[in-house]
Structure 1
Amino acid sequence: MGDETIYRTVQESQSERSEIVFPADSNALGNLFGGRLMQYIDLTGAMAASRHARAIVVTASMDHLDFVSPVRVGELLILKASVNRAFRSSMEVGVRVMVEDVREQRLRHVSSAYLTFVAVDRDGSKLVVPQITPETEHQKRRYEDAGRRREMRAGETLRKREMRAALGGEWHL
Protein backbone atom coordinates (compact mmCIF):
# COMPACT_ATOMS: atom_id res chain seq x y z
CA MET A 1 0.00 0.00 0.00
CA GLY A 2 1.14 3.55 -0.72
CA ASP A 3 1.03 6.70 1.34
CA GLU A 4 -2.39 6.86 3.00
CA THR A 5 -1.78 10.05 4.98
CA ILE A 6 -4.93 12.11 5.32
CA TYR A 7 -4.76 15.91 5.44
CA ARG A 8 -7.35 18.36 6.74
CA THR A 9 -7.40 22.13 6.85
CA VAL A 10 -7.49 24.12 10.07
CA GLN A 11 -10.90 25.50 9.14
CA GLU A 12 -12.48 22.03 8.95
CA SER A 13 -12.19 21.50 12.70
CA GLN A 14 -12.43 24.95 14.27
CA SER A 15 -14.85 25.18 17.17
CA GLU A 16 -16.52 27.99 19.05
CA ARG A 17 -18.39 28.07 22.35
CA SER A 18 -20.26 30.88 24.07
CA GLU A 19 -21.13 31.14 27.76
CA ILE A 20 -22.78 33.72 29.97
CA VAL A 21 -21.03 34.01 33.33
CA PHE A 22 -23.44 33.39 36.21
CA PRO A 23 -22.93 34.01 39.95
CA ALA A 24 -22.50 30.26 40.61
CA ASP A 25 -19.43 30.35 38.32
CA SER A 26 -17.74 33.20 40.18
CA ASN A 27 -15.64 33.94 43.24
CA ALA A 28 -16.37 36.43 46.06
CA LEU A 29 -15.24 39.32 43.83
CA GLY A 30 -17.75 38.43 41.11
CA ASN A 31 -15.07 37.12 38.74
CA LEU A 32 -15.24 33.83 36.86
CA PHE A 33 -13.38 31.02 38.65
CA GLY A 34 -10.11 30.20 36.89
CA GLY A 35 -10.92 26.49 37.13
CA ARG A 36 -14.27 27.01 35.39
CA LEU A 37 -12.51 28.91 32.60
CA MET A 38 -10.03 26.03 32.32
CA GLN A 39 -12.98 23.64 31.97
CA TYR A 40 -14.48 25.72 29.16
CA ILE A 41 -11.08 25.91 27.44
CA ASP A 42 -10.64 22.12 27.70
CA LEU A 43 -14.12 21.43 26.31
CA THR A 44 -13.75 23.87 23.40
CA GLY A 45 -10.31 22.49 22.56
CA ALA A 46 -11.62 18.92 22.72
CA MET A 47 -14.36 19.78 20.22
CA ALA A 48 -11.80 21.00 17.68
CA ALA A 49 -9.51 18.00 18.26
CA SER A 50 -12.40 15.54 18.01
CA ARG A 51 -13.62 17.15 14.78
CA HIS A 52 -10.13 16.96 13.33
CA ALA A 53 -9.48 13.34 14.35
CA ARG A 54 -13.11 12.27 13.88
CA ALA A 55 -12.57 10.22 17.01
CA ILE A 56 -12.69 10.34 20.80
CA VAL A 57 -9.93 12.53 22.22
CA VAL A 58 -8.41 12.77 25.68
CA THR A 59 -6.55 15.72 27.15
CA ALA A 60 -2.84 15.00 27.52
CA SER A 61 -1.74 18.45 28.70
CA MET A 62 -2.66 22.09 29.01
CA ASP A 63 0.19 24.52 28.95
CA HIS A 64 0.87 28.18 28.60
CA LEU A 65 -2.44 29.22 30.10
CA ASP A 66 -2.60 32.99 30.50
CA PHE A 67 -5.28 34.80 32.49
CA VAL A 68 -5.04 38.24 30.87
CA SER A 69 -7.96 39.96 32.58
CA PRO A 70 -10.89 38.98 34.82
CA VAL A 71 -14.28 37.94 33.49
CA ARG A 72 -17.20 39.36 35.47
CA VAL A 73 -20.62 37.94 36.24
CA GLY A 74 -23.00 38.73 33.39
CA GLU A 75 -20.35 38.97 30.71
CA LEU A 76 -20.55 36.96 27.50
CA LEU A 77 -17.58 34.64 27.05
CA ILE A 78 -16.53 33.57 23.52
CA LEU A 79 -14.03 30.70 23.15
CA LYS A 80 -12.48 29.80 19.79
CA ALA A 81 -10.30 26.75 19.18
CA SER A 82 -8.18 25.58 16.24
CA VAL A 83 -5.88 22.64 15.71
CA ASN A 84 -2.43 24.19 15.27
CA ARG A 85 -0.63 21.00 14.30
CA ALA A 86 -1.15 17.25 14.25
CA PHE A 87 1.56 14.74 15.00
CA ARG A 88 1.07 10.94 14.93
CA SER A 89 -1.76 10.47 17.44
CA SER A 90 -1.67 13.85 19.16
CA MET A 91 -2.74 17.35 18.22
CA GLU A 92 -1.88 20.76 19.62
CA VAL A 93 -4.96 22.96 19.89
CA GLY A 94 -4.89 26.69 20.57
CA VAL A 95 -7.84 28.24 22.40
CA ARG A 96 -8.43 31.99 22.54
CA VAL A 97 -10.97 33.41 25.00
CA MET A 98 -12.66 36.76 24.53
CA VAL A 99 -15.39 38.70 26.32
CA GLU A 100 -17.94 40.32 24.06
CA ASP A 101 -19.25 43.72 25.04
CA VAL A 102 -22.59 43.49 23.27
CA ARG A 103 -23.44 47.18 23.77
CA GLU A 104 -20.15 48.46 22.38
CA GLN A 105 -19.78 45.55 19.91
CA ARG A 106 -16.17 45.02 20.99
CA LEU A 107 -14.17 41.98 22.00
CA ARG A 108 -11.69 41.93 24.90
CA HIS A 109 -9.03 39.20 25.07
CA VAL A 110 -9.11 37.51 28.50
CA SER A 111 -7.20 34.23 28.13
CA SER A 112 -5.28 31.91 25.80
CA ALA A 113 -4.03 28.35 26.16
CA TYR A 114 -2.37 25.52 24.27
CA LEU A 115 -3.61 21.99 24.85
CA THR A 116 -2.47 18.61 23.60
CA PHE A 117 -5.10 15.99 22.84
CA VAL A 118 -4.60 12.35 21.88
CA ALA A 119 -7.06 10.48 19.65
CA VAL A 120 -8.14 7.10 21.01
CA ASP A 121 -10.52 4.30 20.13
CA ARG A 122 -13.20 2.96 22.50
CA ASP A 123 -10.61 0.74 24.21
CA GLY A 124 -8.28 3.69 24.84
CA SER A 125 -5.69 2.70 22.22
CA LYS A 126 -4.08 5.57 20.31
CA LEU A 127 -5.23 6.31 16.78
CA VAL A 128 -3.31 7.94 13.95
CA VAL A 129 -4.74 11.39 13.19
CA PRO A 130 -4.90 13.34 9.92
CA GLN A 131 -2.20 15.93 9.33
CA ILE A 132 -2.90 19.66 9.14
CA THR A 133 -2.63 21.69 5.97
CA PRO A 134 -2.08 25.29 7.11
CA GLU A 135 -3.38 27.70 4.47
CA THR A 136 -2.92 31.25 5.75
CA GLU A 137 0.28 32.91 6.95
CA HIS A 138 -1.17 33.00 10.48
CA GLN A 139 -1.93 29.25 10.36
CA LYS A 140 1.56 28.52 9.00
CA ARG A 141 3.16 30.49 11.86
CA ARG A 142 1.04 28.66 14.45
CA TYR A 143 1.96 25.33 12.79
CA GLU A 144 5.70 26.09 13.12
CA ASP A 145 5.31 27.43 16.67
CA ALA A 146 3.50 24.22 17.67
CA GLY A 147 6.50 22.18 16.54
CA ARG A 148 8.82 24.27 18.73
CA ARG A 149 6.49 23.94 21.74
CA ARG A 150 6.39 20.16 21.24
CA GLU A 151 10.20 20.04 21.38
CA MET A 152 10.18 22.08 24.60
CA ARG A 153 7.53 19.80 26.16
CA ALA A 154 9.56 16.72 25.21
CA GLY A 155 12.65 18.23 26.88
CA GLU A 156 10.67 19.01 30.03
CA THR A 157 9.23 15.49 30.13
CA LEU A 158 12.73 14.01 29.85
CA ARG A 159 14.03 16.32 32.59
CA LYS A 160 11.21 15.26 34.97
CA ARG A 161 11.76 11.58 34.18
CA GLU A 162 15.48 11.92 34.96
CA MET A 163 14.71 13.81 38.16
CA ARG A 164 12.31 11.06 39.35
CA ALA A 165 14.90 8.39 38.56
CA ALA A 166 17.54 10.29 40.54
CA LEU A 167 15.15 10.45 43.50
CA GLY A 168 14.45 6.73 43.30
CA GLY A 169 10.96 7.33 41.93
CA GLU A 170 9.94 9.30 45.02
CA TRP A 171 8.68 12.86 45.09
CA HIS A 172 10.10 15.12 47.79
CA LEU A 173 8.72 18.51 48.77
Structure 2
Amino acid sequence: MNTTFKTVASSNISISELMLPSHTNFSGKIHGGYILSLLDQIAFACASKFCGNYCVTASVDTVNFLKPIEVGELVTMKASVNYVGKSSMIVGIRVESENIQTGYIKHCNSSYFTMVSKDKDGSNARVPGLVLSNLQEVRRFTNCLKQISLKKEKDRHEENFNYSSIEALANLEKYNVRIELG
Protein backbone atom coordinates (compact mmCIF):
# COMPACT_ATOMS: atom_id res chain seq x y z
CA MET A 1 0.00 0.00 0.00
CA ASN A 2 1.20 3.52 -0.79
CA THR A 3 2.28 5.76 2.03
CA THR A 4 2.88 8.71 -0.29
CA PHE A 5 -0.08 10.43 -1.92
CA LYS A 6 -0.13 13.36 -4.32
CA THR A 7 -2.99 15.47 -5.58
CA VAL A 8 -4.19 15.44 -9.17
CA ALA A 9 -3.33 19.16 -9.23
CA SER A 10 0.33 18.31 -8.57
CA SER A 11 0.40 16.55 -11.96
CA ASN A 12 -1.22 19.37 -13.94
CA ILE A 13 0.80 20.58 -16.87
CA SER A 14 0.04 22.55 -20.01
CA ILE A 15 1.89 23.41 -23.17
CA SER A 16 1.02 25.83 -25.93
CA GLU A 17 2.38 25.97 -29.43
CA LEU A 18 1.62 28.06 -32.49
CA MET A 19 0.68 25.87 -35.46
CA LEU A 20 2.89 26.52 -38.48
CA PRO A 21 2.52 25.64 -42.18
CA SER A 22 5.22 22.98 -41.70
CA HIS A 23 2.77 21.08 -39.42
CA THR A 24 0.09 20.61 -42.09
CA ASN A 25 -1.17 17.55 -43.92
CA PHE A 26 -2.20 17.42 -47.59
CA SER A 27 -5.55 19.08 -46.88
CA GLY A 28 -3.92 22.10 -45.25
CA LYS A 29 -5.01 21.21 -41.69
CA ILE A 30 -2.59 20.41 -38.87
CA HIS A 31 -1.39 16.82 -39.26
CA GLY A 32 -2.80 14.39 -36.70
CA GLY A 33 0.60 12.72 -36.41
CA TYR A 34 2.14 15.99 -35.30
CA ILE A 35 -0.58 16.37 -32.63
CA LEU A 36 0.06 12.76 -31.52
CA SER A 37 3.74 13.58 -31.04
CA LEU A 38 2.86 16.57 -28.85
CA LEU A 39 0.35 14.42 -26.91
CA ASP A 40 3.05 11.85 -26.17
CA GLN A 41 5.40 14.58 -24.97
CA ILE A 42 2.89 16.11 -22.56
CA ALA A 43 1.81 12.66 -21.29
CA PHE A 44 5.48 11.92 -20.50
CA ALA A 45 5.96 15.28 -18.77
CA CYS A 46 2.75 14.94 -16.74
CA ALA A 47 3.44 11.37 -15.59
CA SER A 48 7.12 12.06 -14.82
CA LYS A 49 6.25 15.21 -12.88
CA PHE A 50 3.72 13.26 -10.81
CA CYS A 51 5.86 10.23 -9.94
CA GLY A 52 9.36 11.74 -10.08
CA ASN A 53 10.66 9.01 -12.39
CA TYR A 54 11.29 8.45 -16.06
CA CYS A 55 8.08 7.19 -17.69
CA VAL A 56 7.31 5.28 -20.86
CA THR A 57 4.15 5.10 -22.91
CA ALA A 58 2.49 1.70 -22.41
CA SER A 59 -0.55 2.42 -24.55
CA VAL A 60 -2.46 5.17 -26.24
CA ASP A 61 -5.94 4.23 -25.08
CA THR A 62 -8.04 6.89 -26.75
CA VAL A 63 -7.39 9.66 -29.25
CA ASN A 64 -10.52 11.45 -30.37
CA PHE A 65 -9.93 14.02 -33.08
CA LEU A 66 -13.01 16.22 -32.69
CA LYS A 67 -12.28 19.31 -34.81
CA PRO A 68 -9.52 20.23 -37.26
CA ILE A 69 -6.77 22.61 -36.24
CA GLU A 70 -5.82 25.43 -38.60
CA VAL A 71 -2.46 27.00 -39.39
CA GLY A 72 -1.91 30.06 -37.22
CA GLU A 73 -3.96 28.78 -34.29
CA LEU A 74 -2.47 28.51 -30.83
CA VAL A 75 -2.83 24.95 -29.57
CA THR A 76 -2.92 24.40 -25.82
CA MET A 77 -2.73 20.93 -24.28
CA LYS A 78 -3.72 20.40 -20.66
CA ALA A 79 -2.82 17.12 -18.96
CA SER A 80 -3.38 15.54 -15.57
CA VAL A 81 -3.02 12.13 -13.98
CA ASN A 82 -6.55 10.72 -13.76
CA TYR A 83 -5.73 7.25 -12.38
CA VAL A 84 -2.83 5.45 -10.71
CA GLY A 85 -2.10 1.76 -10.32
CA LYS A 86 1.04 0.25 -8.81
CA SER A 87 3.46 1.54 -11.43
CA SER A 88 1.09 2.87 -14.10
CA MET A 89 -0.87 6.06 -14.54
CA ILE A 90 -3.58 7.11 -16.96
CA VAL A 91 -2.99 10.65 -18.17
CA GLY A 92 -5.94 12.57 -19.59
CA ILE A 93 -5.20 15.29 -22.10
CA ARG A 94 -7.48 18.01 -23.46
CA VAL A 95 -6.44 19.85 -26.63
CA GLU A 96 -7.86 23.26 -27.46
CA SER A 97 -7.00 25.58 -30.30
CA GLU A 98 -7.42 29.31 -30.24
CA ASN A 99 -7.78 31.66 -33.16
CA ILE A 100 -5.42 34.32 -31.84
CA GLN A 101 -7.07 37.05 -33.95
CA THR A 102 -10.65 36.45 -32.76
CA GLY A 103 -10.02 34.71 -29.43
CA TYR A 104 -12.37 31.87 -30.42
CA ILE A 105 -11.39 28.63 -28.61
CA LYS A 106 -12.48 25.16 -29.71
CA HIS A 107 -12.04 21.74 -28.12
CA CYS A 108 -10.15 19.72 -30.75
CA ASN A 109 -9.02 16.51 -29.09
CA SER A 110 -9.34 14.36 -25.99
CA SER A 111 -6.78 11.66 -25.32
CA TYR A 112 -5.83 9.10 -22.69
CA PHE A 113 -2.33 7.64 -22.38
CA THR A 114 -1.24 4.85 -20.04
CA MET A 115 2.23 5.65 -18.75
CA VAL A 116 4.52 3.41 -16.69
CA SER A 117 7.03 4.66 -14.14
CA LYS A 118 10.58 3.24 -14.44
CA ASP A 119 13.46 3.21 -11.98
CA LYS A 120 17.12 3.76 -12.88
CA ASP A 121 17.51 0.08 -13.87
CA GLY A 122 14.49 0.16 -16.18
CA SER A 123 12.25 -1.85 -13.86
CA ASN A 124 8.72 -0.75 -13.06
CA ALA A 125 8.69 1.71 -10.14
CA ARG A 126 5.86 2.31 -7.69
CA VAL A 127 3.93 5.55 -8.16
CA PRO A 128 2.39 7.69 -5.42
CA GLY A 129 -1.26 7.25 -4.54
CA LEU A 130 -3.73 9.77 -5.93
CA VAL A 131 -5.66 12.28 -3.82
CA LEU A 132 -9.04 13.04 -5.41
CA SER A 133 -10.02 16.56 -4.30
CA ASN A 134 -13.30 17.19 -6.14
CA LEU A 135 -16.12 15.37 -7.91
CA GLN A 136 -14.65 16.01 -11.36
CA GLU A 137 -11.49 14.15 -10.30
CA VAL A 138 -13.64 11.34 -8.86
CA ARG A 139 -15.55 11.16 -12.19
CA ARG A 140 -12.31 10.98 -14.19
CA PHE A 141 -10.90 8.26 -11.90
CA THR A 142 -14.13 6.26 -12.15
CA ASN A 143 -14.12 6.62 -15.95
CA CYS A 144 -10.59 5.21 -15.97
CA LEU A 145 -11.80 2.21 -13.95
CA LYS A 146 -14.48 1.63 -16.60
CA GLN A 147 -11.90 2.03 -19.38
CA ILE A 148 -9.61 -0.55 -17.72
CA SER A 149 -12.53 -2.95 -17.28
CA LEU A 150 -13.54 -2.63 -20.94
CA LYS A 151 -9.93 -3.20 -22.02
CA LYS A 152 -9.74 -6.39 -19.94
CA GLU A 153 -13.08 -7.60 -21.33
CA LYS A 154 -11.87 -6.97 -24.89
CA ASP A 155 -8.70 -8.94 -24.19
CA ARG A 156 -10.73 -11.84 -22.74
CA HIS A 157 -12.99 -11.79 -25.81
CA GLU A 158 -9.97 -11.86 -28.13
CA GLU A 159 -8.53 -14.87 -26.28
CA ASN A 160 -11.78 -16.87 -26.26
CA PHE A 161 -13.45 -16.00 -29.57
CA ASN A 162 -13.16 -18.58 -32.36
CA TYR A 163 -12.74 -16.48 -35.50
CA SER A 164 -12.68 -19.53 -37.76
CA SER A 165 -16.01 -21.02 -36.68
CA ILE A 166 -18.72 -21.36 -39.33
CA GLU A 167 -20.99 -19.08 -37.26
CA ALA A 168 -18.37 -16.34 -36.94
CA LEU A 169 -17.59 -16.42 -40.65
CA ALA A 170 -21.29 -16.45 -41.60
CA ASN A 171 -21.92 -13.47 -39.31
CA LEU A 172 -19.40 -11.41 -41.32
CA GLU A 173 -21.55 -11.64 -44.46
CA LYS A 174 -23.66 -8.69 -43.29
CA TYR A 175 -20.62 -6.42 -43.56
CA ASN A 176 -18.95 -4.99 -46.64
CA VAL A 177 -16.47 -7.89 -46.97
CA ARG A 178 -16.01 -10.97 -49.08
CA ILE A 179 -14.22 -13.91 -47.52
CA GLU A 180 -11.89 -15.82 -49.85
CA LEU A 181 -9.91 -18.17 -47.63
CA GLY A 182 -7.31 -20.25 -49.46
TM range (shorter): 0.7 to 0.9
**Residues 32-60 of structure 1 deviation map (CA, whole Å, 9 limit, x = unaligned):** 11111111111111111111111000001
Counterpart CA distance in 2 for 1:26 and 1:87 is: 37
Alignment check: 8 A CA contact 2:2 2:129 kept: no
Residues 1:38 and 2:36 are matched in the alignment: yes
- Quote the residue 1:141 is aligned against: 139
- Quote the residue 2:21 is aligned against: 23
Counterpart CA distance in 1 for 2:113 and 2:31 is: 19
- Quote the residue 1:128 is aligned against: 126
- Quote the residue 1:169 is aligned against: none
Output the amino acid matched with 1:144: T
Partner SS state of residue 149, structure 1: helix
**Residues 138-173 of structure 1 deviation map (CA, whole Å, 9 limit, x = unaligned):** 111101111111111222233345569x9xxxxxx9
CA RMSD after TM alignment: 1.9
Moved more, 90-99 or 38-47: 38-47
Larger Rg belongs to: 2
Question: How far apart are residue 122 of structure 1 and its match?
Answer: 2.6
Aligned residues: 164
- Show structure 2 runs of 5+ residues with no match: 165-180
Output the amino acid matched with 1:128: R
Instruction: Trace 1:105-124 onto structure 2 (pairs within 5 A).
Output: 105-124=103-122
Task: Provide TM-score, normalisation by structure 1.
Answer: 0.87
Alignment check: 8 A CA contact 1:85 1:131 kept: no
Task: Provide TM-score, normalisation by structure 2.
Answer: 0.83
Aligned with 1:9 (options 7, 10, 25):
7
Counterpart CA distance in 2 for 1:42 and 1:156 is: 24
* Poorly superposed stretches of 4+, deviation over 4 Å: 161-164
